[in-house]
């Protein structure tokens, strides 16, 4: 079980994806994670290192989170 992040970087136009493994404590965990975007710890484009989460709105414009089995 994990999360897939599909990134469409506004700064360089690159499309990239990465995968994280999470410990699921409840069936709603992924919904919580998708709703809670940490804007203090920078999430960056792996190609150009542009910061993707200056705000929650910017994050959602550039990153799509989906749950994988
Ligand atoms: Zn980029």
Structural domain spans, the chain: 2-68
pLDDT higher at 31 or 46: 46
Distance 21 CA to ligand 1 centre (A): 23
Q: Average pLDDT, whole number, for the chain?
A: 83
**Highest mean pLDDT range out of 6-15, 16-25, 27-36?**
6-15
Residues 13-30, mean pLDDT to the nearest whole number: 75
Q: How confident is the model at residue 32 (pLDDT cuts 50, 70, 90)?
A: low
Distance 25 CA to ligand 1 centre (A): 33
Contact of 51 with 61, CB cutoff 8 Å: no
Lookup result for tokens 């990465």: 18
Q: In angstroms, rounded to a whole number, what is the distance separating the alpha carbons of residues 2 and 30?
A: 9
Distance 55 CA to ligand 1 centre (A): 16
Which pTM was predicted? 0.73
Q: Give me 21's structure tokens.
A: 């493994």
Distance 40 CA to ligand 1 centre (A): 19
Q: How confident is the model at residue 1 (pLDDT cuts 50, 70, 90)?
A: confident
């Amino acid at each position: 079980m994990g999360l897939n992040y599909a990134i469409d970087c506004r700064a360089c136009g690159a499309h990239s994806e990465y995968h994280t493994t999470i410990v699921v404590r409840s069936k709603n965990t992924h919904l919580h994670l998708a709703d809670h975007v940490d804007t203090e710890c920078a999430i960056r484009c792996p190609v150009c290192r542009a910061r993707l989460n200056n705000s929650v709105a910017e994050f959602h414009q550039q990153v799509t989170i989906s749950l994988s089995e």
